[in-house]
Chains A and B, each alone.
Chain A
Amino acid sequence: MRATKQKQVAIYLAAIVTVVLMGFPLYGVVLTSLQPESVIRSPELSLIPTTLDFSHYASLFSDGHPVPLVSAIGNSVVVAMFSAFLGVALAVPASYALYRTSAPGRRLMMGALAAIYVFPTLLFIIPLYIMWVNLGVFDTRTGLIIPYTAFVLPVMIFILGTFVRSVPMEVEEAARIDGATTRMILTRIYLPLMKPGIFAVLILGFILSWVEFTTPLLFTSQLDIMTVSLALFRSSFDIQIGQLAAAAVVTAIPVVVVTVVFQRRIVGVLTGADR
């Protein structure tokens, strides 16, 4: 009994250390965003707030703020949604073709898709930058959606591929004997069975597009096309620590909320338990 008691104490100590070390940076930024600038800059350390001050958020969203955060959020929502849906629309047939057919060069394609994540991102960005300038899509939403979609596509294909493989081959064969076409098999058999996977990769695509920083940094220069992560970076030139913290919280909130709500599903899909 003593041993298990000791073990219990050790577990809870470890849990507290883990929560403090991993969670503190997030707590710190939320706390900073809710404190008056005078408290943030005072020499006293106060980890438990005595007053909450929402003025940083208010001034962030006020008209005429130097960094147009509201329009940046709008841009990010549009670009991230487009990229996620476009990515899924392309990844569903691609994952079927790569994981279920005997298309030539299948293994090579899969290897190439995985290798993409080995190359440094800037290796792709340099020629795309030059191409975008020449094609006139620099500083447009299209110029962001195309690389975003391509960046999320391989991981979408891999995740959906595991769902494709979980569909029994006999089901497809039976349908073929009954005269079903490939399109029918894809929409009537695979699509319904892939639903949890499609849902997961939609969320993943949205998150990955929302957080993308390098692409908008290098592919946009105008304020009105700015995405939310870029807006946050631009506001870091501001001297107001509290406002910067508030902008960081606003940028992180959508993805954090999605992660909290879909925690189980994301963990399940990533670790392969959800099939």
Chain B
Amino acid sequence: MAPALLLVGGVYLYPIAATLVYSVATIDIGTYTIESFVGLDNFTRVISSSAFIPTLLRTLYFGLLVVLITLVPAMFIALLLNEQFRGRTFVRLVVLLPWAVPPVVGGVLWGQMFQSEFGFINRILGELGLPDDTIWLADPALALHSLAIAEAWRWIPFATLFLLAGLQTIPTNTYEAAQVDGAHARQRLWHITIPQLMPTIIPVIIFVFVWAMKTFDIIFVLTRGGPGGSTTTMNYWVYEQGFETFQFGTAAAIAWLLTLVTILVIGILVLINRLIFANKEVR
């Protein structure tokens, strides 16, 4: 127990405290020591910079986008895997695989998928007679959405497994009763499955949202925050400030702001969760 505490303390608690100290300081790059304390200067500079609001909104939008592109297919796949059919194990394996793909491999792989000249996506669109010259990763309006697809592909396995585990806890006689009452498949999905699954869906949303806001690898490999800053999320901004311009104080301030935003997002989602359950009890 003690060594584990020591490691966790050294690698987590110390950095959390140190980043907080750095956020009100400037760091000397020559000696890597604190140069001077500047109070809240780093925070005010970040918040008043013209990049702050767009970056914050971009981060939240990216999180929401990844949640949507992850959850909708994952729900569909979980419903599919909940049925008995031949080849189910194979389908489950194919769905699970992206989880095992290292993020950087995912980056390279989607880079080749989205590549405008030889990439598979444009090639296939071309074969179907659709426009085949879209520049997915270099178009400021499209790049963030392309990244969201690549990121969601990695989270679908996790989301599917949890939704599937949730589905298997719904008693089958609920469905049988609904069937007797003449409920259609779609009605059963909206009135039984999804409400019963809410205790699983909300945590999955929280996890995916938080992880999407922390995305680094895919952005770094595919777009490096570009074109024109259109894929710079707050987390990527931390990297740029810290390891491209070596402004560790500013980077620490942004990292803490991102943490606050993350906690706020979790708080709101937990509140929504509570409200849903409060409603249920009234009914």
Contacts and interface: CB of A to CB of B under 8 A. Distances in A.
Given A124-B11, A127-B15, A251-B102, A214 B216 contact: yes
B146 interface: no
Contacts of B161: 267, 270-271
A123 B77 CA distance: 35
Nearest to A93: B1
A60 interface: no
A260 B93 contact: yes
A118 B2 CA distance: 24
Contacts of A117: 210
Contact of A218 (B83, B93, B124, B243): B243
Say which size band chain B's interface belongs to.
35 or more
Contact of B214 (A25, A120, A128, A267): A120
B62 interface: no
A122 B242 contact: yes
A38 to B, nearest CB: 11
Contacts of A96: 1
A210 B102 contact: yes
B229 interface: no
Interface stretch (A8-16, A48-56, A61-69, A164-172): A8-16
B109 A91 contact: no
Which of B109, B127, B165 lies at the interface centre, i.e. has the most chain A CB atoms within 10 A of its CB? B109
Nearest to A134: B32
A235 to B, nearest CB: 9
A241 B138 CA distance: 18
B112 A18 contact: no
A21 B85 contact: no
A22 B154 CA distance: 10
A191 interface: no
B221 interface: yes
A259 B108 contact: no
B101 interface: yes
Which of A18, A23, A117, A247 lies at the interface centre, i.e. has the most chain B CB atoms within 10 A of its CB? A18
Which of B12, B117, B165, B242 lies at the interface centre, i.e. has the most chain A CB atoms within 10 A of its CB? B12
A23 B95 CA distance: 7
Nearest to A127: B18
Contacts of A124: 11-12, 15-16, 19
B100 A259 contact: yes
Contact of B22 (A26, A126, A245): A126
Contacts of B220: 213, 217
Interface string A24-63: 1110110010000000110001000000000000000000
Interface residues of A, number: 86
Contacts of A147: 11
A29 B109 contact: yes
Interface string B86-99: 01111111111111
A105 B50 CA distance: 43
A170 to B, nearest CB: 24
Given A120-B235, A123-B259, A214-B216, A267 B248 contact: no
Contact of A18 (B3, B16, B94, B153): B94
A236 interface: yes
B101 A252 contact: yes
A165 to B, nearest CB: 17
A23 B14 contact: no
Contact of A153 (B8, B248, B259): B8
A233 interface: yes
Given A123-B19, A233-B104, A233-B108, 13 more contacts: A15-B91, A18-B95, A19-B94, A24-B120, A117-B210, A123-B256, A124-B16, A126-B15, A126-B19, A126-B242, A229-B103, A252-B101, A255-B102
23 contacts: A11-B83, A14-B76, A14-B80, A15-B88, A24-B120, A25-B98, A25-B110, A25-B113, A124-B15, A124-B16, A126-B252, A128-B15, A149-B7, A150-B10, A150-B12, A230-B104, A232-B104, A233-B108, A245-B112, A251-B104, A260-B93, A267-B92, A271-B164
